[in-house]
A = this chain, B = another copy of it.
């Protein structure tokens, strides 16, 4: 009755899933709808920045050679022959000891090679004409922002797959991207299973709990950058539910189920995979929580059978589903960023399995410290709320002590990394068959 499953290592499981991870499609969205999405093409400068030599300040443009003798004891007088507002161009000539009033961002007149700020000159009038006095020597190029000194034309300023932050938005605007090519958000279907599940608006009943996983996973899908499509709860009747899975799969790029993957009698996901002739990539992973996470592929489409246990469901999504989504979004860094942190609590009990403990990362005097959030029980919903990392504790024969260095996976980081690095710690881990 109890099916014996052979657990595989976490990294092996990730590798098997990633073989099915392929880039998605590009479409265009208006610039002001693009924040938070992922660039579908590299961002290219269509012109140099600055596009012309310009003034970084409000001031006066002059020829620097005319200031050669200027000093605090020897003010040199310039006639102000015109002015240039930002956006306009001075079309006259500027001669010896002549100056042009210039506003921030305006183009430097051809004859000039330096700018002096308003605050540094004395202005006066004589015979109704404006003049300034300069009391220090300027060098050629002083207070000029030169063409292309920031960015050259044709330069790729952000790669395909970069998440669009406010700085990228500024670049997109600067280089004329009224419409932005972004990765189309993958549609990720979600089906909840479990006869113990109540809907969120139902009153609590003996023996039953409200369905939290489906909503939690929807939020995780959004955080990963995809679009959740919730199909509701499974039927308790096998044929109906098989039909539901088939219909859902036609509508989405990835299908997630929560619950129904244990070896219990009521868990019929395994039978559904079989009826679909789906290829089961694995159905047991040497990790805690989430050991029953099952992933299957059907016609190149992935079905993630996440555990019905909230923490196991959470971890299963972050380790296995998120990198697939990020790959579809063109990210060259589909995995969670992994950093080294000091462990903030003891884990005295050795565990043969690799553990992913929900934790809270804090900074203490510039060092990263990771502390488990709440009790480390896989059914503790509340500990998920404050978790911003998963603390990686490779399985082995020894426990872990406060103060030891451990790896943490950053849950709120948007940048990611190119590798599921934590295999480096697996030398000392063991998984039990």
Measured between alpha carbons, how far is A117 from B213 in the docked complex, in Å? 24
Contacts A215-B32, A263-B118; is A207 near B88 (CB within 8 Å)?
yes
Q: Binary interface profile of A, 199-229, with partner B (CB < 8 Å = 1, else 0)?
A: 0111110111111111111111011000010
Output the nearest chain B residue to A214 by Cβ-Cβ distance.
B173
0/1 per residue, A254-273, Cβ < 8 Å to B?
A: 00000000111110000000
Q: Does A151 count as interface, using CB distance less than 8 angstroms?
A: yes
- A302 within 8 A of partner (CB): no
Q: Are B363 and A216 in contact (CB under 8 A)?
A: no
Contacts of A35 in B (CB 8 A): 218-219, 222-223
Q: How far, in angstroms, from A56 to B177 measured CA to CA in the complex?
A: 53
- Spot the interface stretch: A68-76, A275-283, A371-379: A371-379
Residues of B contacting A388 in the complex (Cβ-Cβ under 8 angstroms): 415
Whether A103 contacts B265 in the complex (CB less than 8 A), given A150-B379, A380-B150, comes out as yes
Is B1 a contact partner of A58 (Cβ separation < 8 A)? no
Docked complex: A334-370 residues within 8 A CB-CB of B? 339-342, 363, 365-368
Q: Which of A12-20, A43-51, A92-100, A134-142 contacts the other chain?
A: A43-51
- What's the minimum C-beta distance from A389 to chain B, rounded to whole angstroms? 12
Cross-chain contact A169 with B118 (CB below 8 angstroms): no
- Given the known A-B contacts A178-B201, A223-B35, are A87 and B215 also in contact in the complex, defined by CB atoms under 8 Å? no
A308 within 8 A of B: yes
B104 A166 Cβ-Cβ under 8 A? no
Q: A86 and B195: CB pair below 8 A? A: yes
Q: Tell me the residues in window 365-405 of chain A with beta carbons closer than 8 Å to chain B beta carbons.
A: 365-368, 374-375, 377-388, 405
Q: Which residue numbers of A lie inside 8 Å of B, CB to CB? A: 1-2, 31-32, 35-36, 46-47, 49-52, 56, 58, 83-89, 103-107, 118-119, 123, 145, 149-151, 157-158, 164-178, 194-197, 200-204, 206-220, 222-223, 228, 230, 262-266, 308-310, 314, 339-342, 363, 365-368, 374-375, 377-388, 405, 412-415
Closest 3 CB pairs of A and B: A87-B196, A167-B384, A86-B196
Known: A171-B384, A176-B201, A367-B367. 20 other contacts (CB 8 A): A31-B200, A35-B222, A46-B204, A50-B209, A51-B209, A56-B379, A86-B196, A86-B266, A87-B196, A145-B377, A150-B381, A151-B382, A166-B314, A170-B310, A170-B314, A171-B382, A178-B200, A340-B363, A340-B365, A388-B415
